[in-house]
Amino acid sequence: MSDTINVALPKGRLGERVYRIFEESGLGCPGVTDPSTRRLIFENPGAGVCYFWVKPSDVAIYVERGAADIGVAGKDILLEYSPEVYELMDLRIGKCRMCVAAKKGYHDSTARTLRVATKFPAIATDYYRSLSRSIDIIKLNGSIELAPILGLSDVIVDIVETGSTLRENDLEVITTITDISARLIANKASTKFKADGISRLVLALKDRKGSI
């Protein structure tokens, strides 16, 4: 088996920040952030790393199935899909919160089933189960904030980063369910068969100047 460590990076701003951390840790690879290329795979044989750009919500799938040895995924994705991977490190970037939010002044009535719109049905279900509250999940794929405004749901369970989307739509946080940040994850078999390479990489990240 090749000793190259295959790394799944989440496409987008967070992924580029993550890649900078790898680069500053001596694990760079020419071309990875070149905006003029549509290439998805970049290998640096000297450093023993190969990067792939993947959709953020797919990183855990690549890592779970071993197509990538390690990757970076948001804690939201890990909580929602519970992939069979090891969580190696909190990178302490991409920080946000998973919250319940509703229209300003919303008053809950426990007498009836709560309608919850979300991209995260498992997180919402677990949270309300812990409160023994019966809910009706409305699974949406984006612009979740519209749901309570249009009367599609009573509340939403969604990510809040700066809070501007809520503010600009007259919504407010009712409860924070959990804090979220980017996590370094690893394929379980790779941590055995590529133990040295993965430890080297984790150490390099930890030793990075201005450490995480």
Applying CB under 6 A, the residues found at the interface with ligand PRP are 142-145, 158-165
- H/E stretch holding 10 reads strand 5-10
Between 140 and 205, CB nearer to ligand PRP: 140
- What CA–CA distances, in Å, run from 170 to 5, 143, 149, 163, 165? 46, 14, 9, 11, 9
- What CA–CA distances, in Å, run from 73 to 113, 132, 209? 33, 29, 22
Residue closest to ligand PRP, measured at CB: 142
Q: Which amino acid is at 78?
A: L
Sequence length of the chain is 212
Instruction: Provide the minimum distance between the beta carbon of 12 and ligand PRP in the complex, in angstroms, as a whole number.
Output: 9
Let me know: does 176 contact 88? Beta carbons within 8 Å. no
Calpha distance 155→180 (Å, rounded): 20
Instruction: Provide the minimum distance between the beta carbon of 119 and ligand PRP in the complex, in angstroms, as a whole number.
Output: 6
Angle in degrees, CA 25, 28, 33, rounded to 5: 125
> H helices within 65-194, ranges in order?
75-81, 121-130, 146-149, 164-168, 190-193
